[in-house]
Amino acid sequence: MSEAGAGEEGGQKIALALALSVVLTLWVALCEPPPREAIGRFLGVVGLSAFLLGWGVRGGWTWLNGGPRWRGVAVVLAGAMALRVAAWMAPVSLSDDVWRYVWDGAIVAGGENPYAETPRERVTRLKGEPDDAAIDAGEVGRASSWAELKRLNSPDYHTVYPPGAQAVFASAEVVARWLGGVSERWLRLFFVVADLLAVLLIMRALIAMRRAVGWATLYGWHPLVVWEVAGGGHTEALAVGLMVALVLMLGRSAPWKIGVVIGLSALAKLTFLIVSPLVGVALWRRGRFRDALIAAVVAVGVLTAGYAPFWFEDLIANQQKSVALYADVFSFDAPLYYAARYLLGYREGVTEPVTHVLSPTLQLATMLAIAVAALWQNGTRERLALAMVVAWGAYLVFNPVLHPWYALGLLAAAALAGAWSVSLAGLGLMLSYLFYVPAVGRPEEILVMVVQSVWAVTMIGWQAGPRAIAWALRRRAKTKFNAVRPYLRPGDRVLDLGAGEGFVGELVAGAGHEVMLAEVDDRNRTELPMVTYDGESLPLDDDQFDVAIIAYTLHHARRPDKVLAETSRVARRLVILETVYEREWDRRLVTFLDHSANRLRGMAPEPLAFDRVEGWLERLNARGMKVLTWRWLGRGVHRHVIIVAERER
C-alpha cells in the first residue's frame, strides 16, 4: 500500500472509532435506567469505547500527526467535543456532588455566604423542623427545602468548594434563571467548555514541547474524563486547564503571572496546589530563587483575595472540620490505605480506629513524594509534566478516598508527558462504580481493588519498566566506568567485551578513546560499532586493541579460559571486573541474583562459571598474563573485584 493510501486508511480508522464511541456514549446516556443504575452496561461501553479509541489512534497515529498541524488539532478537539456532548445528555447519576454545587450556587447567586451554614442548618432556619408530608409531596425550593436536602452528600458539613468554583456554580444558577432550564445542566455545560479549553491548552503545550498533538487524545478522548466531566460534573474540570497553562507558561511568562494562575487553580480546586512546589522549583532551576518567591507570594495573594469576600470568624474552623472528613472519616477505593489499616490491626466493628496513626503517615508519604518530584526539576517543561504525573500519582495512591474524577489532573499530566501507560491504568478506576451495586459486598470490593492495582502496576510497568531498567543499567555502567578509568591510558584503543547495551563503552568513548563493542548477541543501544561472536572466538586481529574491558562477563562464558585466551590475543592489557565467591553459599546467592537481574533484561537463565579470586588469578597466570594489580570493589552481598593484567612480552 502507498504512503498516501496508508495515511488515508489511518484517518478512516480514527473516524470509525470516534463515530462508534460517540454512538455508544450517546446510547448509554439516553437509555433507561441511567448509568449508575445499569453499571454493567455503563462499564461495558467504557471498556469498548477505550478499546475502539485506542485502536483508532494507534492505527491513525501517522495520519493524525503527520499532516498539517491544524488537522490534528481539529480532529482531537472535534472528537473531544462530540464525546462530551454525548455524555452530557445523560442525567446526573454517577455522583451526587453536582447537587451540592447547585445548592451552593443558589446561595451565592442570592448574595449569601455558602460557608456560613451547613445545608441542614440553613433549611432548619428557613423551614423549621422537617415536614415529612412536604418532603413526600416533593416540595422543592432553591437551596432551602428538606426535599432538596435529601439529594446532598454530607448535609451536616460546610461546603469545601473554594470561591472560584463557587463563582461558576452561581453563574450556572443565574444563567438558568435568565435563559431557562436547570442550573445542573448549565453547570455541566460550563465544565465541558472549561475541559475543552484544557484539551486545547494540552495541544498547545505539546506543540511547544515539540511533541505530537495526538498525545492529547490520552486526555481529550479518555472515557473516564468524558464521563466524569460531562456525565457526572466535577470541579476538577475548572482547574485542569490552569494546571496545563503552568507548563506552557514556564520560561515564557513573568513569575507574577504564573503566581496568578497557581492561585486561580487553587480557587477552582484546592487539591491542585499539589503542583505548586513543582512549578516553584522549576522556576528556581530556570533562573533565580526570587522568581519562585514572587510566584508563591502572588499565588497566596490571589487565594487570599478570593476568600476575602466570604471571610467571617469561623471560616477556617468550619473548613478544617469539613476537610477532616476526607482524612479521618471517609474512605473509598483505597487499596494501600485499607491494606495498611489491616496490617496495623484494625478490624471494622471490632477494634479501635487507627486513622490517628495512619492518616498522618500517608500524608507525610504524599508530601515526601511531591518534594522529591519538585527537587527533580531541571527547569524544562518536559520534566515539569513528568513530575506532575509523579506528584498526582503519589496523591492518589496514598489518599484514603479515591474517586475516579480525582484522576483528572493525573491524566492531563500524563497526556503532556506521553505516559500512555498511566492513561490505561486510569481506566481501572472506573471499576469503583461496582461498589454501588447492592450485590457487591466487601469481599467483592477487595477483589475489585486487587484487579485495579494489578492492572495499574502492569500498565505502568509496561511503559516505565524498560525505562527504569535502562536508567539502572546506565547508573551501573557509570560505576563500572569509574572503576576502570584509572587503568586507561591516553590514546588507548579499547575493546568492551560482553558489552551488553554498550553503556560502559559509550562512557569510555566519551573520555576520548576509540571503542569497539563485542557481544554474543546484538543488544547495542549506542552509536558505537559492535561485533558479535560465538562466545569463544573473536573475529578480530592480533593486538588490534591496547586494552580490553571485561566487565562481569567471564562468569557467563561457557569456556572462560578460552575467552581469556582470545581476549589476550587481541589486546595487550586486560581490565577485568568480576563477581567472586568465598564460600559455597556465596556462590548460590550470586547465582540467584544474577539470574534474577538478567530476567529483567530479557535474558534466559544459563549456567554460570563463578570462581574465587585465587582461581581467576591462576587462570590469568596460566594464559601468560602478568597480574599488575587487583583489589576488592565490594565485599558485601555482592563480592566483586577488579583485576588488571598485561601480556608478558
pLDDT of 30: 95
Residue 288: pLDDT above 90? Answer: no
CATH class of domain segment(s) 472-647: alpha beta
> Of 287, 291, 283, whose CA–CA distance to 374 is shortest?
283
Residue range 212-248, pLDDT digits in tens: 999 999 999 999 999 999 999 999 999 999 999 999 9
Q: Residue 39's pLDDT band (boundaries 50, 70, 90)?
A: very high
Residue 278 near residue 369, CB atoms below 8 Å: no
Mean of per-residue pLDDT scores for the chain: 90
- Give mean pLDDT, residues 276-304: 94
Name the strand (E) or helix (H) holding 516.
Answer: strand 514-519
Query: HSE-up of 451 (CA within 13 Å, CB side)?
Result: 13
Percent of the chain with pLDDT over 90: 71
Question: Distance between CA 604 and CA 597 in Å, rounded?
Answer: 10
Query: How big is the CA angle at 82 (ends 78 and 87), to the nearest 5 degrees?
Result: 150
Q: Is 585 exposed, middle or buried (0-12, 13-18, 19+ CB in 10 A)?
A: exposed
- Give mean pLDDT, residues 498-513: 94
Between residues 548 and 441, the one the model is more confident about: 548
C-alpha cell, 598: 538478567
Query: How big is the CA angle at 200 (ends 197 and 203), to the nearest 5 degrees?
Result: 155
CA 173 → CA 97, 98, 254, 364, 424, distances in Å?
A: 16, 12, 35, 39, 36
- State phi, psi for 377 to the nearest 5 degrees: -65, 145
Residue 556: pLDDT above 90? Answer: no
- Whether cis (ω within 30° of 0) applies to the bond prior to 68 is no
Residue 298: pLDDT above 60? Answer: yes
Question: Distance between CA 444 and CA 96 in Å, rounded?
Answer: 24
Question: What angle in degrees, to the nearest 10, is found between the helix axes of 183-208 and 97-109?
Answer: 100
Residue range 518-529, pLDDT digits in tens: 999 888 999 999
User: What single-letter amino acid sits at 523?
Assistant: R
Query: How big is the CA angle at 102 (ends 127 and 190), to the nearest 5 degrees?
Result: 165
Which has the minimum average pLDDT: 10-24, 126-140, 219-233, 412-426? Answer: 126-140
pLDDT of 597: 65
Residue range 325-336, pLDDT digits in tens: 776 678 899 999
Residue 591: pLDDT above 70? Answer: yes
Residues ≥6 apart with Cβ < 8 Å to 602: none
Residue 5: pLDDT above 60? Answer: no
Q: Residue 142's pLDDT band (boundaries 50, 70, 90)?
A: low
Residue 374: pLDDT above 80? Answer: yes
Name the strand (E) or helix (H) holding 644.
Answer: strand 639-647
Query: How big is the CA angle at 198 (ends 196 and 203), to the nearest 5 degrees?
Result: 100
pLDDT of 51: 97
pLDDT of 386: 96
Question: Distance between CA 177 and CA 171 in Å, rounded?
Answer: 10
Q: Residue 494's pLDDT band (boundaries 50, 70, 90)?
A: very high
Strand 530-532 and strand 514-519: the pairing is parallel
In sign, the C-alpha dihedral spanning 96, 100, 101, 103 is positive
Residue range 57-84, pLDDT digits in tens: 999 999 999 989 999 999 999 999 999 9
Residue 145: pLDDT above 70? Answer: no
For the chain, the structural domain boundaries read 3-95+164-440, 472-647
Question: Distance between CA 362 and CA 367 in Å, rounded?
Answer: 9
Q: Residue 607's pLDDT band (boundaries 50, 70, 90)?
A: confident
Residue 6: pLDDT above 60? Answer: no
Residue range 343-356, pLDDT digits in tens: 998 888 788 888 88
pLDDT of 426: 96
- Give mean pLDDT, residues 410-435: 96
Q: Residue 144's pLDDT band (boundaries 50, 70, 90)?
A: low
- State phi, psi for 511 to the nearest 5 degrees: -85, 5
- Give mean pLDDT, residues 169-187: 94
Name the strand (E) or helix (H) holding 629.
Answer: strand 625-635
pLDDT of 4: 53
Prediction pTM value: 0.85
C-alpha cell, 614: 585465587
Residue range 93-123, pLDDT digits in tens: 999 999 999 999 999 999 999 999 998 888 8
pLDDT of 649: 65
- Give mean pLDDT, residues 264-289: 94
- Give mean pLDDT, residues 26-36: 93
- Give mean pLDDT, residues 557-569: 91
Q: Residue 588's pLDDT band (boundaries 50, 70, 90)?
A: confident
**DSSP letter for each residue of 67-102:** S-HHHHHHHHHHHHHHHHHHHHTSPS-S-SHHHHHH
Question: Distance between CA 304 and CA 302 in Å, rounded?
Answer: 5
Residue 94 near residue 33, CB atoms below 8 Å: no
Query: How big is the CA angle at 402 (ends 314 and 342), to the nearest 5 degrees?
Result: 100
b/e per residue, 464-485, with b = 16+ CB within 10 A? eeeeeeeeebeebbeebbebbe
**DSSP letter for each residue of 184-218:** HHHHHHHHHHHHHHHHHHHHHHHHHTT--GGGGHH
C-alpha cell, 558: 561457557
Question: Distance between CA 263 and CA 268 in Å, rounded?
Answer: 9
C-alpha cell, 474: 546506565
pLDDT of 143: 56
pLDDT of 141: 40
**DSSP letter for each residue of 8-42:** HHHHHHHHHHHHHHHHHHHHHHHSSS-GGG-HHHH
Question: What angle in degrees, to the nearest 10, is found between the helix axes of 163-179 and 289-307?
Answer: 50
The 10 Å Cβ neighbour count of residue 171 is 17
The 10 Å Cβ neighbour count of residue 304 is 11
C-alpha cell, 8: 488515508
> Of 250, 259, 468, whose CA–CA distance to 378 is shortest?
250
Q: Residue 598's pLDDT band (boundaries 50, 70, 90)?
A: low
pLDDT of 582: 82
- Give mean pLDDT, residues 291-315: 95
Percent of the chain with pLDDT over 70: 93
Q: Residue 602's pLDDT band (boundaries 50, 70, 90)?
A: low
pLDDT of 137: 42
pLDDT of 136: 45
